[in-house]
Structure 1
Amino acid sequence: MERLDRTGTHRAQFDKNRKKIYATQSVCGICGEPVDFHYKFPHPLSPTIDHIIPVAKGGHPSDIDNLQLAHFRCNRQKSDKLAKVVFVEDRDIGNNNLPLSCDWLAYKEERSL
């Protein structure tokens, strides 16, 4: 199946929003660490755009509210998973500040259908 943010009708808007995010954000939305824009793909710490709600789970492919800056490795580890919000000492932990120590390969998503 074709991804609309890569080749479809949302490509132009995705590119515009990617440039906005690269210009305005400097911290990985997944691990919370700074992103160094000197690294280039395929370096694990290179900057990339993460869909907060993955397109495979119904997330919008180009809406800026569904996009965040991420390290390449963090985005790959998260893959198409959704993060469950956890409350720790009055601090929200969600997609925007997930700990890097999470083992995404062993992660099992809870389904509430």
Structure 2
Amino acid sequence: MAIRLDKQGGHRGAYEKNKKIIFKTQNTCGICGRAVDFSIKTPDPLSAVIDHIIPVSKGGHPSDIENLQLAHWTCNRQKSDKLFISPQEEPKVLGNRNLPQTINWVEYKG
């Protein structure tokens, strides 16, 4: 079994540096959205870990801070190497083609 790129070689230093930055600047799990308690230590399922947003096995960068997020250990294990895509927001501006109908013209008797 090969050692992961974030655990060896040139990426190791960058990964550890970015891990420290994330631990200092983030406080919610990027997967479930709940607060992460840094006083809880491993092997507790709610301990803080770093998750690769795009898994390394799916082509994600092993140490780029844009590909790393804070997560609970259990959330990260459940996500595994899946791609997690958050739901897209509805458009803020409605175009004139998708405005709600004010009159049902099929039933209109004028």
Partner of 1:51: 52
Structure-1-length-normalised TM-score? 0.75
Aligned residues: 90
> Aligned runs of 1:1-113 on 2, under 5 Å?
1-87=2-88, 90=90
Partner of 1:111: none
Which amino acid in 1 is paired with 2:67? N
Structure with the higher strand share, 1 or 2: 1
- The offset of 1:41, in angstroms, is 0.7
Q: Which runs of 4+ in 1 moved over 4 A?
A: none
Task: Tell me the distance in 1 between the aligned counterparts of 2:72 and 2:65.
Answer: 17
Q: What stretches of structure 1 of length at least 5 have no aligned partner? A: 92-113
Cα RMSD (Å): 1.5
Over the matched positions of the two proteins, sequence identity in percent amounts to: 61
Q: What stretches of structure 2 of length at least 5 have no aligned partner? A: 92-110
Structure-2-length-normalised TM-score? 0.77
Larger radius of gyration: 2
- The offset of 1:17, in angstroms, is 0.1
Task: Tell me the distance in 1 between the aligned counterparts of 2:41 and 2:65.
Answer: 22
Q: Are the counterparts in 2 of residues 2 and 8 from structure 1 also a CA contact under 8 Å? A: no
